[in-house]
Amino acid sequence: MANTVITSILSMAGLGLFFASVLAFMNQKLKVEEDPRVEKIAGVLPGVNCGACAFTNCHLYAEALIKGKAQPDQCRAGGEQVASAISEILGVKVKKRIKEIATVHCGADASKRKKKATYLGIKTCVAAHNIFGGEILCEYGCLGYGDCREACPFGAVKLVDGLPEIDKDKCTACAKCVVVCPRNIISLQKMESKDFLYITCNNPSKGAETRKVCPVGCIACGICQKVTDGIFYVENNLAHVRSERIKEIVNPQEVVGKCPTKCIAKL
């Protein structure tokens, strides 16, 4: 009996050693040598794996660069410095990218929001939005629970009186705040000018209806369109701006000041 047990143990150990040797041999035989530039590129990337480059992590982005399936300036978190370093490693030139920034299209902070009820549910924007739209009257307005702040891996979003405020120096335009917002009030905008203007409203209702639910919503009066010769324009009861023409505006403070509901902001 003892001999049988010992024989079985030795047989299993022998089989294990055999298969381990086979696996080690095949691993050496079939392994593909990684281009050393992948590690060099991975070394200059921020390593936050934010996904803004369209790849799930920095290493996959580095591999895609070597294969010619990505561009050196796709790393939004690294900005121009990282794009320049990658270009040097690859021996290519990269075009200068126009800086983008997340902008919040709602100007109603906690003191200005009109309420329809008291919300007692889970304190997240997604939860409140899915439970009859939370407590505020405007179904297009910011709910103020900070899902965008929690989603930002760079600390570029803070809540000021329940309203997101974007730090333009920290924002990398990774779009995580854009994706997580259930009200779709955050978008990425190209900063074509240092006097960057944008609309802090996302309500497409007629002016009278907007007035009923928010004191700082756009009422589609068209004043901004008149004072900017069409750089601002009204469509579907909501003001918009042609961002590529903002640099043509010579009177940004006047544009902001003449809006009757103060729904035009300047970074």
Residue 121 CA to residue 131 CA, distance in Å, equals 8
pTM for this prediction: 0.77
User: Residue 177 class from Cβ within 10 Å (0-12 exposed, 13-18 middle, 19+ buried)?
Assistant: buried
Same domain? 74 vs 108: no
Same domain? 113 vs 161: yes
Q: What is the pLDDT of residue 265?
A: 93
- Exposure string of 128-156, with b = 16+ CB inside 10 Å and e = fewer, is bbeeebbbbbbebbbbbbbbbbebbbbeb
Of 23, 56, 90, the one marking the end of a domain is 90
In a domain, residue 56? The reply is: yes
What sign has the CA pseudo-torsion 37, 39, 44, 50? positive
Q: How many domains does the chain have?
A: 3
Residue where a domain stops, chosen among 90, 114, 131: 90
Domain co-membership, 233 together with 171:
no
Q: Specify the CATH number for the domain of residue 152.
A: 3.30.70.20
- Residue 4 falls inside a structural domain: no
Residue whose C-alpha is closest to residue 154's, from 140, 164, 169: 169
Is the domain of 166 the same as that of 202? no
Per-residue pLDDT tens for 16-73?
Answer: 666 666 566 555 555 556 788 888 888 888 888 888 888 888 989 888 988 888 888 8
Residue 141 domain-assigned (yes or no): yes
pLDDT digits (tens, 9 = 90+) for 80-136: 888 888 888 888 887 777 888 999 999 999 999 999 999 999 999 999 999 988 999
183 within domain boundaries: yes
Three-state secondary-structure class, residue 36: helix
Do 152 and 208 lie in one domain? The reply is: no
The answer to whether residue 24 sits within a structural domain is no
Model confidence at 162: pLDDT above 70: yes
Instruction: Fill in the DSSP letter of residue 7.
Output: H
- Which pair of tokens denotes residue 155? 């600390």
Nearest to 204 by CA among 184, 219, 225: 219
| 68 and 124 inside one domain | no
Q: In this structure, what DSSP letter does residue 154 have?
A: T
Phi, psi of 141 (to 5 degrees): -90, 165
pLDDT at 147: 97
Other Cβ atoms less than 10 A from the Cβ of 224: the count is 26
Cα 151 from Cα 76, distance rounded (Å): 16
Please check whether residue 12 lies inside any domain of the structure.
Answer: no
Return the pLDDT at 102: 95
Tokens 């979003």 sit at which residue? 157
Check whether 161 has a pLDDT greater than 60. Answer: yes
Domain edge (last residue) among 191, 207, 234: 191
What is the per-residue pLDDT for 7? 66
Q: 259 lies in which domain range?
A: 192-267
pLDDT band at 212 (very low <50, low <70, confident <90, very high): very high
